[in-house]
């Protein structure tokens, strides 16, 4: 029996487009949506095949995320407890100093992290903020770790300053599909995100860019997010797929939860459409059962955030992750 006859949809026929026109997308949205709609087993089988062509299927990269400047952000992202627009109990803090960051990075390295990500709750850093972040990047690089920052919107000059300091990755998420963006954030638009990503690329840094699912979006909109990411040229090297963590006080608190299998499908579609990217199982892991996390690894997730806190929300602690890795025979890389 061929693949085409065992499936209700012909798995092998859903492929990136070979566009007749030079500007046509590599992954037209209908092709991405068709992946989402495959029978679950077919989707996971295909994702595993793609994953094994490009990676050791039992290796998972571990990144640690530190909030270097918490809260007080003027943006109104509906999911975020750090926005000044919502009363969530998050206390605004100052930018951490070099010694604090160096200590946290050394501890993360000790616990097996290979990349250290620093997040600051800014709409867009000022040039004097960038000067301080440059020092932090240098301190973390000196420990032999890969570095990543997420600082908000960057100018071209700021992106180049970070690259010169040795920053390896810049994280800037698209969050959701273009047509859903206005429901989630009103203080900036999609094009602002794309402009920063262009500055990051032009400066020669790797791009870390993904989104958040479970924000009340439709499957079509999830496909729209993945299509946006997969059609970047080149697509991001690192693709965090976050599951909304509902925080009391934010507008998205109280939404109906997303079916966990739909989350797994999103990971699988990201893996298939961006074969060589590190697909990161990011926020929301603390609320996920081990079985769902295992399905995400099977679907092609090969990176996690590691450590007991993600900016301001919880993350599984070190022992729980060690135990899960041991059960699944996963290794860190």
Enumerate binding residues for ligand SF4 (CB under 6 A).
73, 75, 77, 80, 82-83, 121, 152
Q: Which of 73, 149, 209, 296 is flagged as catalytic?
A: 73
Cβ 161 to ligand SF4, closest distance in Å?
Answer: 20
CA 229 to CA 284: how far, in whole Å? 20
Residue 285 falls in the annotated catalytic set: no
Q: Is 333 a catalytic residue?
A: no
Nearer to ligand SF4, 152 or 211 (CB): 152
Q: Looking at residue 144, what DSSP letter applies?
A: T
Residue 247 or 299: the one with the smaller Cβ distance to ligand SF4 is: 247
Catalytic position from the list 46, 62, 115, 148: 148
Look up tokens 């590190």; give the residue.
278
Establish whether 149 is a catalytic residue: no
Give least dist CB 240 to ligand SF4, A.
13
Instruction: Respond yes or no: is residue 296 known to be catalytic.
Output: no
Residue 82 or 228 with smaller CB distance to ligand SF4: 82
The nearer residue to ligand SF4, 184 or 268, going by C-beta atoms, is: 184
Cα–Cα distance for residue pair 279/57, rounded to 1 Å: 12
List 46, 77, 115, 149, catalytic entry: 77
Active-site residue, from 80, 149, 209, 296:
80
C-alpha separations of 137 from 66, 99, 167, 172, 216 in Å: 12, 12, 6, 17, 36
Is 208 among the catalytic positions? yes
Q: How far is the CB of 212 from ligand SF4 (least distance, A)?
A: 9
Nearest Cα to Cα of residue 320 among 287, 281, 283, 290: 290
Catalytic residues: 73, 77, 80, 117, 148, 208, 280
């Amino acid at each position: 029996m061929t693949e085409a006859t065992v499936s209700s949809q012909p798995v092998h026929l859903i492929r990136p487009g070979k566009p007749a026109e030079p500007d046509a997308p590599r992954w037209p949205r209908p092709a991405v949506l068709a992946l989402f709609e495959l029978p679950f087993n077919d989707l996971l089988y295909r994702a595993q095949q793609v994953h094994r062509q490009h990676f050791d299927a039992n290796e998972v990269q571990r990144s640690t995320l530190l909030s270097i400047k918490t809260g007080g952000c003027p943006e109104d992202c509906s999911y975020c407890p750090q926005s000044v627009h919502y009363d969530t109990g998050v206390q605004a803090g100052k930018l951490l100093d070099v010694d604090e960051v160096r200590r946290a990075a050394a501890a993360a390295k000790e616990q097996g992290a290979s990349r250290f990500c620093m997040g600051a709750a800014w709409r867009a850093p000022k040039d004097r903020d960038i000067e301080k972040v440059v020092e932090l990047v240098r301190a973390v690089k000196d420990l032999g770790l890969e570095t990543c920052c997420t600082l908000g919107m960057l100018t071209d000059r700021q992106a180049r300053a970070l690259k010169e300091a040795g920053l390896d990755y810049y994280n800037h998420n698209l969050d959701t599909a273009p047509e859903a963006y206005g429901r989630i954030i009103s203080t900036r638009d999609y094009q602002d995100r794309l402009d920063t990503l262009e500055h990051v690329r032009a400066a020669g840094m790797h791009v870390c860019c993904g989104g958040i699912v479970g924000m009340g979006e439709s499957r079509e909109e999830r496909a729209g997010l993945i299509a946006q990411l997969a059609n970047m040229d080149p697509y991001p090297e690192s693709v965090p797929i976050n599951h909304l963590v509902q925080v009391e006080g934010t507008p998205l608190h109280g939404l109906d939860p997303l079916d966990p299998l739909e989350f797994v499908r999103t990971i699988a579609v990201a893996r298939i459409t961006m074969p060589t990217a590190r697909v990161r199982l990011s926020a929301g892991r603390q609320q996920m059962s081990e079985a769902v996390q295992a399905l995400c690894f099977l679907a092609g997730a090969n990176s996690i955030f590691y450590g007991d806190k993600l900016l301001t929300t919880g993350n599984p602690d070190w022992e729980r992750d060690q135990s899960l890795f041991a059960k699944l025979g996963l290794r860190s890389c």
